[in-house]
Chain A
Amino acid sequence: MEYGLDKRSNALKTFNTTFIIIWLLIACFPFIWTFWGSFKVRADFFSRADWWYAISAFNTLLETGGQFTSKAYSEAWTEGEFWKASRNTIIVTVFVVSISLFLGTLGAYALSRSTERYAFWILIAALIFRAMPHITLVSGYLFPFFELQIWGILPTTIVVLVAINQPFTLWLLYSFFKTVPKELDESALIDGCSYFQAFRYIIMPVMWPGVITAGLFSLMLAYNDFTVTALLLNQENHTMVPKIQSYLGTNQHEGNLMWAVSAVVSATAPLFMLVMFFQRQVISGLTTGAVKG
C-alpha cells in the first residue's frame, strides 16, 4: 500500500529512509536527552557551567559515587507521592477517553449523515466553542463549582474534560465519517436495519482508524492537561501534570527539578505501550478488508 512511492525506485527509498531518520532524530532527541539526564543529579543535568557535565556525570560521580543514579525516581514515586498522581491520571484518562468516544462517535455519525442545514451550523458552533481559551472557561467554572460543592473531585474534572474535548472529537470523527461512503450504511438501512444498528454493525468496524485517532487525542488531552486539572482538583486528586508542576518550585522557594524530570520520563512509558498497541489496531482494522471504496 505504498501510495506515494514505487517499490522499484531505490533512490527514492534511500531518500525516504534518510528523511525518516533525520526527522526521528529531531523528534526524539530532547526526549532521549531527558531520559539520559533523569539518571543524573541536578547539578549535571541543569548545569550552566558546561553541558558536557550531563554526559560525563561530573557531579553525579561526586555526589553518589556512580555514573547513574535512580534516586530521583525512587524519591519522586514515594516521597513525592507520584504514585497517587499516576493512579488519578489513570482514572481520569480511562473515563475521559471512553466517554468522549461514546458521545463523539454518536454525534459525529449523526452530523455526517444529516443533510439538514442545522448540521452545518452545529459544526460551526462546535468550532466556535473550541476557540474559547480553556483558562477563561475554567475560571468561569470555579464560582459555580465551589457553590455547588463539586469542586475538587474526579467526576467533575472528567465531565469537564469530556465536554471541552467534544468539539475536537466531533470534528475529527465527522471528517473521518465523511470518508466512509454513504452507500455502505444506506444499503444496510434498505435491508431493514435501524440507524443505530447500521452504525453499530456497518460503520463501527470500518471506523477503527478514525476512532483510535480520536481516542489517542482524547487520551493526550486528559493525560497532559494542566489548566483544568490544576484548577479543579484538590490535592488528594491531583493528576500527574499538576504534580509535576508542584515539583518545579516557586519563585521564592526551591523545587525539586530532578523529580520533575524523572516524573516526565515515567509518565511517557505507558504511552509507549499504548501507542504500540493501538498502531497495530489501526492497521489490523484495515486488513480485515472492511474498507472497500
Chain B
Amino acid sequence: MPNKTFFWFFLPTGLAMILFIGLPIISTGIQSFYAQHDQIVKEVKKCDPFGCTVSIVVDQEATSILRDEKPLGKFNGFGTYIDRNHLAIEQISDFWKETDSFGEFINQVTNLPFYKALLFTLTYCLFVTPNVLLLGFIIALSLNAISRKIRGPLIFGTILPMIVTPLVGSLVLFWMIDAEGIIGANLQLMMEDPYLSLKSSRTLTWITIIIYGIWHHSPFAFVVFYAALQTVPQEPVEAAIIDGASRYQRIRHIVLPHIYPVVTFVALISLMDNFRVFEPIIGFSAEGSAQSLSWLIYDNLVNEEVILFGSAAATSMMTIVGIAILLAPVLIRTWKEFRTAR
C-alpha cells in the first residue's frame, strides 16, 4: 500500500491513540521521575465539633513559593523506582547480607509490596493464560459442531461470564463462595470439612481468583476463535476428509494454520490482560492475601486520601516494561512473520 494512502487510512485512529494514550504515557513517564516539593508544615490550633487540638498543617505561603517555581515538583530521578515500595534495591541488598539461607532471603523479598504483587501477578498469568486459550478453543470447536438452530442461545450462555458487569459479577460470586453461601457450603459438604473457607487462607484465595480468571476470560478466547472458525475455507477440509485425515490432523494442519494470526492475537491480549489483573481482587475483597501490580497502582491513586501520583506513575511504567518483556517472544515471532510476508 502506498505511504500516502496508508497515511489517510491510519490518520483518525492514530490521532486518537496519540492524543489520549501516547501523550499521557509520556507525561506519566515524566511524572514518575519527580517527587513532591518539601512540604513546609507549621503548628496551628484546629477546632471541630468535638474540641480543639494543636497540630500541624501545610504552610501554604511557604510551600506555594516552591510550587510556583517548579510546578512539576522536585526532580527525583529513579528515586521513586528504587524506593522501598517499588524495586527496593537498598532493602534487597540488606536482606542479602543479613539472611543466612536463600529461602529466608526469598521470604524477606516477597514481603516487600512490589515483589509480593509481582509474585501473584506472574502466578496468575502463568495459570490463567494457557488455560484460557485451551478452554476457549475447545468450546469454540464444540459449539461449532452443534446444530445451528440452537447455537444462538448457547453462544449467549457461553459469553455470559464475560458480559456480566465484573463489578457485580464478583460481588455475587463473593457471596456464593462464602462459607455460608451456596458454593462454599456445598464445598464444605463435598470435602467433609465444616471449617473449610475459600477466603481465609492465602492458597485457597489464590486458587479461587485463578479459577475465576479462567472462567471470566475463556469466553473472550471463545468469541475470537469462533468468529475465526467461520472464516476457515471449506474445500481443504472436505478434501482432507476424503483423503482420510483424522480429526486431529484436520485441526492441526488446516484449521490451526488458518486461524494462526488470531491465536497470536488472543495470546497477546490475554497475557496482557492477565498481567493487569485487578478486578477480582477488589471483587473478592482479597487484598489481604493477593495483591497485583495493578492493585498497587489503584491503591496509590484511589485508596488513600493523598493521591500518590509519582508512585502510581512509576508502577505503571514498570507494568508496561513487564508486559513488554512478557510479550517479547510473541512479538519476535510476529516480526519474523512480518518480514517473510514482505
Q: Are chains A and B native binding partners rather than an unrelated pairing?
A: yes
Query: Which residues of A line the B interface, CB within 8 A?
Result: 1-6, 12-13, 16-17, 19-20, 23-24, 26-28, 30-31, 33-34, 37, 45-51, 54, 102-104, 106-107, 109-111, 113-116, 119-120, 122-133, 135-137, 139-141, 159-160, 162-164, 166-168, 170-172, 174-176, 178-180, 195, 206, 209-210, 212-213, 216-217, 220, 223-224, 226, 240-241, 244-245, 248, 260-261, 263-264, 267-268, 271-272, 275-276, 279-280, 282-283, 285-286, 291-293
Output the residue of B9, B251, B316, B342 with the most chain A CB within 10 A.
B9
Size range of the interface on B? 35 or more
Q: State whether the Cβ of B323 lies closer than 8 Å to any Cβ in chain A.
A: yes
**Can you sample 15 A-B contacts with CB below 8 Å?**
A1-B237, A2-B144, A4-B251, A6-B241, A24-B157, A122-B10, A127-B272, A133-B297, A135-B302, A139-B309, A139-B312, A210-B227, A213-B224, A268-B160, A286-B231
Given contacts A106-B13, A123-B334, A166-B21, 17 further A-B contacts (CB under 8 A): A3-B144, A3-B229, A23-B142, A27-B158, A128-B320, A132-B28, A133-B297, A140-B24, A140-B28, A159-B16, A171-B268, A175-B264, A179-B259, A240-B165, A272-B156, A276-B153, A279-B152
- The answer to whether A48 and B272 touch across the interface, beta carbons within 8 angstroms, is no
A113 CA to B231 CA in the complex, in Å? 18
- The answer to whether B307 and A139 touch across the interface, beta carbons within 8 angstroms, is yes
Q: Would A48 and B180 be within 8 Å (CB), given that A30-B169, A107-B9, A264-B168 are in contact?
A: yes
- The answer to whether B167 and A244 touch across the interface, beta carbons within 8 angstroms, is yes
Q: State whether the Cβ of B110 lies closer than 8 Å to any Cβ in chain A.
A: no
Chain B residues near A107: list those with CB within 8 A.
9-10, 12-14
Q: How far is the CB of A228 from chain B (nearest CB, A)?
A: 11
Stretch of B72-80, B119-127, B170-178 at the chain-chain interface:
B170-178
Selected from A19, A171, A245, A285, the residue in CB contact (under 8 A) with B142 is: A19
Q: How far is the CB of A94 from chain B (nearest CB, A)?
A: 17
A127 CA to B272 CA in the complex, in Å? 9
- The answer to whether A5 and B28 touch across the interface, beta carbons within 8 angstroms, is no
A261 CA to B224 CA in the complex, in Å? 29
Q: State whether the Cβ of B113 lies closer than 8 Å to any Cβ in chain A.
A: no
- The answer to whether B255 and A3 touch across the interface, beta carbons within 8 angstroms, is yes
Selected from A49, A54, A103, A124, the residue in CB contact (under 8 A) with B16 is: A103
Selected from B153, B158, B185, the residue in CB contact (under 8 A) with A23 is: B158
A140 CA to B316 CA in the complex, in Å? 12
A52 CA to B145 CA in the complex, in Å? 38
- The answer to whether A127 and B327 touch across the interface, beta carbons within 8 angstroms, is yes
- The answer to whether B157 and A27 touch across the interface, beta carbons within 8 angstroms, is yes
- The answer to whether A20 and B21 touch across the interface, beta carbons within 8 angstroms, is no
- The answer to whether B12 and A286 touch across the interface, beta carbons within 8 angstroms, is no
- The answer to whether A130 and B247 touch across the interface, beta carbons within 8 angstroms, is no
Q: State whether the Cβ of B130 lies closer than 8 Å to any Cβ in chain A.
A: no
A109 CA to B6 CA in the complex, in Å? 9
Q: How far is the CB of B156 from chain A (nearest CB, A)?
A: 5
Selected from B21, B153, B156, the residue in CB contact (under 8 A) with A163 is: B21
Selected from A16, A31, A126, A209, the residue in CB contact (under 8 A) with B160 is: A31
Output the residue of B161, B164, B272, B298 with the most chain A CB within 10 A.
B164
Selected from B180, B275, B342, the residue in CB contact (under 8 A) with A115 is: B342
Query: Which residues of B line the A interface, CB within 8 A?
Result: 1, 3, 5-6, 9-10, 12-14, 16-17, 19-22, 24-25, 27-28, 138-139, 141-146, 148, 151-169, 171-173, 175-176, 178, 180-182, 185, 215, 219-220, 223-224, 227-237, 241, 247, 250-251, 254-255, 258-259, 261-262, 264-265, 268-269, 272, 275-276, 278, 294, 297-298, 301-302, 307, 309, 312-313, 316, 319-320, 323-324, 327, 331, 334-335, 338, 341-342
Nearest CB in chain B to that of A110: its residue: B9
A170 CA to B143 CA in the complex, in Å? 27
Q: How far is the CB of B26 from chain A (nearest CB, A)?
A: 10
Q: How far is the CB of B332 from chain A (nearest CB, A)?
A: 11
A100 CA to B213 CA in the complex, in Å? 27
Q: Would A260 and B152 be within 8 Å (CB), given that A132-B24, A133-B316, A195-B1 are in contact?
A: no
A111 CA to B261 CA in the complex, in Å? 14
A154 CA to B140 CA in the complex, in Å? 37
A50 CA to B278 CA in the complex, in Å? 30
A167 CA to B16 CA in the complex, in Å? 10
Q: Would A283 and B230 be within 8 Å (CB), given that A4-B250, A175-B262, A264-B164 are in contact?
A: yes
Selected from B12, B153, B180, B323, the residue in CB contact (under 8 A) with A50 is: B180
- The answer to whether A209 and B227 touch across the interface, beta carbons within 8 angstroms, is yes
A162 CA to B17 CA in the complex, in Å? 9
**Would you list the 3 A-B pairs with minimal beta carbon distance, nearest first?**
A293-B233, A110-B9, A163-B20
Nearest CB in chain A to that of B27: its residue: A140
Selected from B160, B232, B233, the residue in CB contact (under 8 A) with A27 is: B160
A260 CA to B171 CA in the complex, in Å? 10
